[in-house]
Amino acid sequence: MKRREFLGSVAAVGLAARSSSGQGRPAAPTPALRPETLKFGVASYSLRKFSFEKCLEMAKALDVRYLNFKDVHIPRTDSPDAIRAARARVEAAGFTIMGGGTITMKNDEAQVRKDFEYARLAGMPLIVAAPSIDSLDVVERMAREFKIRVAIHNHGPEDKFYPSPYDAYKHIKDRDPHMGLCVDVGHTVRAGVDPAESIVELRDRVYDLHLKDLRDLNDRDSQVIVGKGAIDFPALFRALLKVGYTGHAGLEYEIDADDPLAGMQQSFAYMRGVLAGIAPPRT
């Protein structure tokens, strides 16, 4: 299957949304969201310019059920009651909280404990983290204690600790199974690594994904709507299906920050089209 075979379906979906709304705005999704072979969702950093309530509204418009929250939407500085209340609003709206982050972690046991307490209050089964190397013993101990997974996020060539998933994996492969990886596909290709190959080879510790597309596989500033870039999403999705991936496949849409919804809709339409052509949805 070629990457661009579904661009026509992207346009069709966008047209349908405009037609059904009558005002060029996305139509409200039906209450029963489609079952999907992969757990497509949103990394809320994509909606960082918008309030918590608006974030939930936009996620509904995107027809997703899974969310990973950046603390701009559920602040770590909030009181325990406020964090619990935010969690309740998310769940009442029909979403599943898949995790939170990215959270930077230093070798400070008291602060790391606070981060895990925050995750527990917010109902996060996983923390996407950027821990310093010397903090890993503390992070591992807290992950075991709280029974919350940690997925180390790779940030490409600029990351002095974890440029690619392999760099993170070598530090956690012999640690407790609560320690794993968040594979950011855009940063991974910029580090000279094939995301699909890394998914297969590191399958035992891949717990989370950040999905994005790049026009230039060497340029972090070339992000585009998914399907309009050079990342091979059919190969990526085939790899995820091959290893039986069950974690969050979260769109991290970092462009168009003031008006991201249309590009995010097109991204999901493309990804769902690719996935539909590879494997039928679960029933």
Token pair listed for 34: 């489609």
CATH assignment of the domain containing 229: 3.20.20.150
Q: What is the mean pLDDT of residues 179-197?
A: 98
Token output for 131: 């821990």
Give this prediction's pTM.
Answer: 0.86
Answer yes or no: is pLDDT of 55 > 60: yes
Within 13 Å of residue 149, how many CA atoms lie on the same side as its CB?
18
Cα–Cα distance for residue pair 192/259, rounded to 1 Å: 31
CB distance 6 to 226 below 8 Å = no
Closest CA to 70 of 130, 147, 128: 128
End-to-end CA distance of the chain: 23
One-letter amino acid at 254 equals E
Examine residue 203 and state whether it is found in any structural domain, yes or no: yes
pLDDT in tens, 261-274: 999 999 999 999 99
Is the pLDDT reported for residue 10 higher than 80? no
Q: How many structural domains are present in the chain?
A: 1
Q: Residue 265 burial (CB < 10 Å; 0-12/13-18/19+)?
A: buried
pLDDT at residue 14 above 50? no
What is the rounded distance in angstroms from the CA atom of residue 41 to the CA atom of residue 249? 6
Q: Is residue 86 part of a domain?
A: yes
Q: How long a stretch of residues is the chain?
A: 283
Domain span at residue 152? Answer: 35-278
* Spatial CA neighbour of 253 closest among 222, 275, 223, 227: 223
Residue 10 lies in a domain: no
* Measured distance CA(79)–CA(84) in Å, rounded: 9
Residue 25 lies in a domain: no
Say if residues 64 and 94 touch (Cβ distance below 8 Å).
no
* pLDDT value, residue 134: 98
| C-alpha–C-alpha distance, residues 49 and 249, integer Å | 22
Any domain includes 261 = yes
Q: Is residue 16 part of a domain?
A: no
Sorting pLDDT into bands at 50, 70 and 90, what band is 208?
very high
CB-based burial of residue 201 (10 Å sphere; 0-12 exposed, 13-18 middle, 19+ buried)? Answer: middle
Q: DSSP assignment, residue 34?
A: P
Q: Where are the beta strands (DSSP E) in the chain?
A: 39-43, 66-69, 96-105, 126-131, 149-153, 179-184, 206-211, 213-214, 223-224, 248-251
Residue 6 lies in a domain: no
pLDDT of residue 279: 74
Which secondary structure element, helix H or strand E, spans residue 52, and what is its range?
helix 52-61
Q: State what percent of residues in the chain have pLDDT above 90.
A: 85
pLDDT beyond 50 at 5 = no
Does residue 41 lie in a domain region?
yes
270: enclosing H helix or E strand: helix 261-278
